[in-house]
Amino acid sequence: MPVPDLVIAANWKMNILPSEAGDFAERILNGLQVVHGVTKIVCPASLALPTVAERLKGSEVYLGAQNVHHESKGAYTGEVSPSMVREMCEYVILGHSERRQQFGETDEMVAKKITAAIRVGLKPILCIGETLSEREAGDATVVVQRQVRTALREVPSLNDVVVAYEPVWAIGTGVPSSPADAQQMMEFIRGLMQEDFGRSALDLPLLYGGSVDANNVAGFIAQPDINGALVGSAGLDAERFIDLVKNAYAASG
């Protein structure tokens, strides 16, 4: 069975000033120079993208944005188009639960963004995951199935897609899912993708997100269907993030 590459992405969210972002990226870059065989991605706030892009140029650390609009251009004050982001970035986070909950993004909106991102050559990191009430009601798989299938229904292949399972109840709470529970959901997601896309789903990187850090990442990476992590707070400290990447790589061997 093919094994997807290990992928570790840091979502900086609305943290780290543009004036700080370049030096921060430099510390990460220096600390991870000896770590190969891992796709390393940092996703700063949009105002910091040009600075970080300059620091990462020619390196083994990729740059991602945190969001895009689904239209290529137009009268959308405050928005950023996929083609604008593509001039600096290889990846973009889409469908994050904070976008869904705080900004009203629907499954349909996320699907449009996924299609628009792929059209210009961006690789989307699609975020999916259930809330605590949905899990307690026994609807976790129903929610995840709806989210992933709606988002990817117009996608011709999985070649340039990453899927991040982030149970909403674990994000920023310090209470992660257990590796076993996360693996169960990842196996379910990969099965859905095999039904829709065939054997190419075996190469689809599936990331876990939600209170993952350097201390617990190895337990997730050891699971057969978890191929990396989407990191929040642990990505806001350069040394902690470097340790997390190194521990994940060690666990993947």
Nearest to 31 by CA among 18, 40, 19, 20: 40
Quote the tokens at residue 2. Answer: 């093919």
With a CB cutoff of 8 Å and minimum separation 6, the contacts of 50 are 88
Whether residue 90 lies in the annotated active site: no
SS3 call for 92: strand
CA 249 to each of CA 34, 95, 212, 243: distance values in angstroms, whole numbers, following the listed order? 11, 26, 14, 10
Whether residue 96 lies in the annotated active site: yes
10 Å CB burial of residue 145 (0-12, 13-18, 19+) is middle
| 204-239 b/e (C-beta count within 10 Å ≥ 16 → b) | bbbbbbbbbbbebbbbbbebebbbbbbbbbbbbebe
Q: Of the listed 69, 96, 98, 130, which one is catalytic? A: 96
Q: Of the listed 98, 130, 134, 166, which one is catalytic? A: 166
Question: Which residues form the catalytic set?
Answer: 96, 166
